[in-house]
Structure 1
Amino acid sequence: MFILILIAFLVSSINAASIVSRSQSYPLSQPAVLGPKTRLAVGNKVIAPDGFERSATLVDGVFPGPLIAAQKGDHFDIEVANELTDDSMFKVTSVHWHGLYQNGTNYADGASSALIGITVIIPSNMKCDGLRGPLVIYDPQDPLAHMYDVDDASTVVTLADWYHTAATVLRYVIGNTASSTLVNGLGRYAGGPMSDLAVISVEQGKRYRLRLVSMSCDPNFQFSIDGHNLTVIEADGQLTEPLMVDQLQIFAGQRYSVVLVADKPAINYWIRNLPNTNDATYEGGTNSAILRYKGAQNADPTTVNPAPKNPLQETNLHALIKPGAPGIPEYGKADINLNLSVANVFGTFYINNVTFTPPTVPVLLQILSGAQEPSQLLQNGSVIVLEANKVVELTLSTTGRGGPHPIHLHGHAFDVVQSAGNGTFNYVNPVRRDVVNAGGNGEQMVIRWTTDNSGPWFLHCHIDWHLDAGFAVIMAESPSDTRTQLIESMPHDWDQLCPIFDSLSPSQLGGGGRKSYEEAANISTLLFPPSPLH
């Protein structure tokens, strides 16, 4: 099982010289690694990952947050300490362990409006201010281990967008664009200084499992390495049949493992990570990092970026372990067939004509208090009740601007029986994952899963601005089983979250208040209304 990771395997050939780098980009030292029993301090610090200084929300004062690594079967015991002090950003938060299915521990999933006792959702876009980091679970019995030689902290590759304005301001702006792209926490922005770029060091003749983690708040990326192929062996923690590509598109929240074969001349090669934003280029080393062979100069590469000949197509990915979607292999023949239609109306998203607003009482608490039926669960239209041990087939289609949308389901991996933009269905050996591209205007995707993990689970767009604008529903899976399973086992501290949060004043919550909205008005005239908190 490989969580929050992507592995890259690069193969190909290219000949190019290097020139002395103006950026003085050096190989990164081995990053700090935390174990499954650890403490995380969430606080504020001024950083300049692309050369532009700003205050950020960070774990242990670094971006991205430190790698948390464990072995399959380990028990996690993580203390999170809130040390946030910057009033311009939110000072309360929760942590979601993306890609962990929390089977039997739904209360610890961290999705605030579904699980935690608060009256408003803590904006997911705290992530956009820096609160993000990788977590990897290594499998000592990995059946594909024969394909690579190196798989450690140095081969975890984080991909992120970065903003020069706080998310508490940008959340009011309808349509905003990241200032830069960061690879392993470093990058450059257009017109900015020649700041350091991330360097991934390799040795000729070795094979590397690169674990690619998209921590993006918004854009998807086209990832490639000049002169090398990548062999995909995992998607979102699920092993795949090996598939060689020369470029892959990775959406917000997705992870891939790819194997890179370092069999090219020992020089420097550009790592390219192009976002789907207007006018994005590689000029001046933007949207880039460096693959540096042992013995190469400390220099920016001069390698070229040919058009891809074999880009990743999701339909070519196939699950390695127990392939096949559950249920009758025919469209519309699952036990439960859901159709969700998503529309974007002036920046606000509606699912089946309902925009998601956080309930005043979290759904899990409603269930534990005895609510069972859809009519009893708030908010009306945003909670879908599912019976236990049923096969669910979900068709999601989108209209309007803002796509393509990466859709994430908490609590489950699912089989992608129809990929967006593709007219065929595959029930025999589709890719299995937990974040899928739903496409753009007029497109649809179809997924299947089995309701074998009771609890309220978020289904939402993983573009944080879209989630904040209502693109979500809650799948309340077997409420009666949830109540039976959790009512005696939940820790007492969980019961205190609602009273603690509800007692906080606006100044204790942070977020910049009215000032954030006024700052947003100086950026754009296309704005969401101000928060009712302020």
Structure 2
Amino acid sequence: MFLTHLLFLILSSLQLVSAANRQYQLQLTTSDTTRVDPPDGFPGSRPFILTNGLFPGPLISAQKGDRLLINVANQITSPRIRRSATIAIHSTQHWHGIFQQRTSASDGTAEVTQCPISPFQSFEYQFETGQQSGYAYNFPTPLFERCSTSTSIEPIGTTVILAHNIVTDLYPKDPHASLYDVDDASTIITVGDWTHLPANEAFANKSILQPSPDSTLINGQGLYMGGPTKTSMIPVIGPVQYGKRYRFRIINVSCNSFFNISFDRHPMNVIEADGTEIVPRSVDALTIFPGQRYSVVIEANLNPVDPKNPGSYWFRTRPTPDIVNWNPSTADPAVNNAIFRYEGARNAVPLTTIAPTPTTVLREFDMVPLSNPAPPGGTGLPTKKITVPLRLNGTVWTVGNGSFFGTPVPVLMQILTGMIPAQQVLGDDNVVTIDYNQTIDLTLTNDCDTNQNTTPCDIADNHPIHLHGHEFAVIQAAGQSKPNYINPPRRDTVAVYNNDVIIRFNTLNPGPWIFHCHIDWHLSQGMALVFAEAPNRIISGPDSVILPPGWSNLCTIYNKLPPDEQ
């Protein structure tokens, strides 16, 4: 099982320009070889991964329809971090929000679409941004994401943002452009969790259902309980100008935590979720699960010159699970939060301590896409129905009837070389073959209790489920009493908790696509399966996969490594 980083693409709206090749170089090192302060100020903090010497990493930008050529060089040397990378140590790179038509080999999913990038080697990911909208973030985890927790996967911890990404939405111009004035790199907000040990050390006890992080990071910075709280250490959003409207792109890059997001005294106008524009909806708070993204418009309408307006307000995250030792009645309000600051603010730090009670909270099933293509298959029956129980079996999580712990030969390579079918290597419960041009309904059931569902699930028992290679229609969301076939929400990561969730998608993108829980603790304990979509079309024909140079050599080099470097 290998580590992968997820780099999620953020799509914004600009004027039409010609498509182009966009080339980037990403060099992965660690904080113990390049002196970088710990993100939450904890002394003697463990090593963490840097991209081009930065944490978070550099901004990657491209236009819609561009071709991205991103070369990743693995220079990780820390003995406490697994060194092979499907990107990073065992590093690969997953580009969340990019559906990888014909480029599944660049999806960045270790053991599914590639072998890891070995120490002191590099690999160039090649793919087009396509016409889809969406934006993303970037984590390390087992198999293919953020902070992997199994002993065979080197975790980087939490919220390791290799790069933010803006891919512009040019066709057509953003239909929400009239609702905001500012949308740039300064309005990207990442929220994530952080541990003071590498994840494989911090999460070594697999008998617990979910460990607690040590701190919350906002744009790569935060505070831990009991630590110093100098004003300079508190994350800041802004400064914003009075009278302007800001489109904030909020991204949950955590390994385990979900967040209840709010801006004190500023309602949020939600206009997009996971890259799909929605009918604007004004709320006081929203819940964002690992892997999800939202765009919200904040109107900076409180004049800092007015004595009633301090000019600084809390941007609150309220994580679940709580960070270690956190108590809302005694904690410094700067912990878990950032300062939302106006230009000319009279107060550097907000004066309020207790979070206001929200009156309107975004519910997933209340979101209505701005355009209405109708769900795949419309209101008709799907081609195929699949029920997928999500269960805990002792300390192992299952999706369907199996747990996915990877394979020495990536599933894509098995398909292309005609080796023993992946089902025979991993089992039918781990790899599900689906035919081309089918309408699939997946019913996700959350058997959250270890004693065969004797206790009702609640939101703390959530599983944010992500499907690579696809956007899907959320026919029935958590908390929704009946299916909705009339313009339901569309996204790529959906939370499953207190009732069955039904998603629907079309199989028009041949490739091996991982389907997994975005809580890394669960993922490292097997909570994934692979959909082998139209395998024959992956091999030949107009939908066949395009392999980047050096792809087949990744496994050759990796398999020759000594065990301590794998």
> Taking structure 1 as the reference length, what is the TM-score of the superposition?
0.85
Contact kept? 1:374, 1:384, Cα under 8 Å? no
Q: CA 1:142–1:280 in structure 2 vs 1: closer, same or farther (change >3 Å)?
A: farther
**Corresponding residue of 2:350:** 301
Paired-residue identity, %: 39
**Corresponding residue of 1:292:** 341
**Corresponding residue of 1:52:** 42
For 1:221 and 1:169, how far apart are their aligned partners in 2? Answer: 24
Contact kept? 1:89, 1:168, Cα under 8 Å? no
2:309 is the counterpart of 1:268: no
| Higher mean displacement: 132-141 or 243-252 | 132-141
2:138 is the counterpart of 1:138: no
Q: CA 1:398–1:188 in structure 2 vs 1: closer, same or farther (change >3 Å)?
A: same
For 1:446 and 1:359, how far apart are their aligned partners in 2? Answer: 29
Tell me the matched-pair count.
477
For 2:274 and 2:378, how far apart are their aligned partners in 1? Answer: 25
Amino acid at match of 1:131: V
Superposed CA deviations along residues 400-427 of structure 1, whole A, max 9, x for unmatched, are 3572110000000101010012212111
For 2:553 and 2:63, how far apart are their aligned partners in 1? Answer: 32
Amino acid at match of 1:300: V
SS in 2 for 1:368: helix
For 1:28-67, list aligned pairs within 5 A. 36-45=22-31, 46-53=36-43, 54=45, 55-67=47-59
Contact kept? 2:108, 2:114, Cα under 8 Å? yes
Superposed CA deviations along residues 60-96 of structure 1, whole A, max 9, x for unmatched, are 2222222212221222111111110101111111111
Q: Residue 128 of structure 1: CA displacement?
A: 2.6
Amino acid at match of 2:165: L
For 1:406 and 1:192, how far apart are their aligned partners in 2? Answer: 31
Q: CA 1:293–1:492 in structure 2 vs 1: closer, same or farther (change >3 Å)?
A: closer
Contact kept? 2:258, 2:320, Cα under 8 Å? yes
2:526 is the counterpart of 1:466: no
Contact kept? 2:412, 2:511, Cα under 8 Å? yes
Q: Residue 51 of structure 1: CA displacement?
A: 1.3
Structure 1: gaps (5+ residues)? 8-34, 510-534
Structure 2: gaps (5+ residues)? 1-6, 13-20, 85-90, 118-141, 148-154, 305-310, 450-459
Of structures 1 and 2, the one scoring higher in RCO (CA 8 A, sep 6+) is 1
**Corresponding residue of 2:452:** none
For 1:11-160, list aligned pairs within 5 A. 36-45=22-31, 46-53=36-43, 54=45, 55-92=47-84, 93-117=91-115, 121=143, 124-125=146-147, 126=155, 128-129=157-158, 131-132=160-161, 133-140=163-170, 141-160=173-192
**Corresponding residue of 1:347:** 395
Q: CA 1:110–1:508 in structure 2 vs 1: closer, same or farther (change >3 Å)?
A: same
**Corresponding residue of 1:322:** 372
2:357 is the counterpart of 1:310: no
Q: Residue 198 of structure 1: CA displacement?
A: 1.6
SS in 2 for 1:481: helix
SS in 2 for 1:128: coil
2:280 is the counterpart of 1:223: no
2:239 is the counterpart of 1:181: no
Contact kept? 1:124, 1:468, Cα under 8 Å? no
2:482 is the counterpart of 1:496: no
**Corresponding residue of 1:449:** 505
Q: Residue 116 of structure 1: CA displacement?
A: 1.1
Q: Residue 237 of structure 1: CA displacement?
A: 1.1
Amino acid at match of 1:115: T
| Higher mean displacement: 60-69 or 285-294 | 60-69
| Higher mean displacement: 303-312 or 394-403 | 394-403
Residue 236 of structure 2: which of 189, 199, 214 is its match?
199
Q: Residue 5 of structure 1: CA displacement?
A: 4.7
Amino acid at match of 1:422: Q
Amino acid at match of 2:179: M
Superposed CA deviations along residues 138-187 of structure 1, whole A, max 9, x for unmatched, are 22411111110000111011111111011121342233111010111111
2:405 is the counterpart of 1:357: yes
User: Which structure dedicates a bigger proportion of its chain to helix?
Assistant: 1
Q: Residue 300 of structure 1: CA displacement?
A: 1.1
For 1:122 and 1:151, how far apart are their aligned partners in 2? Answer: 30
2:414 is the counterpart of 1:366: yes
| Higher mean displacement: 37-46 or 307-316 | 37-46
| Higher mean displacement: 280-289 or 307-316 | 280-289
Q: Residue 377 of structure 1: CA displacement?
A: 5.9
Q: Residue 59 of structure 1: CA displacement?
A: 1.4
Contact kept? 1:6, 1:235, Cα under 8 Å? no
Q: Residue 474 of structure 1: CA displacement?
A: 0.3
Q: CA RMSD in A?
A: 2.4
2:196 is the counterpart of 1:167: no
For 2:283 and 2:420, how far apart are their aligned partners in 1? Answer: 47
For 2:564 and 2:83, how far apart are their aligned partners in 1? Answer: 9
**Corresponding residue of 1:31:** none
Q: Residue 492 of structure 1: CA displacement?
A: 4.0
**Corresponding residue of 1:527:** none
Q: Residue 232 of structure 1: CA displacement?
A: 0.8
Amino acid at match of 2:289: F
| Higher mean displacement: 118-127 or 417-426 | 118-127
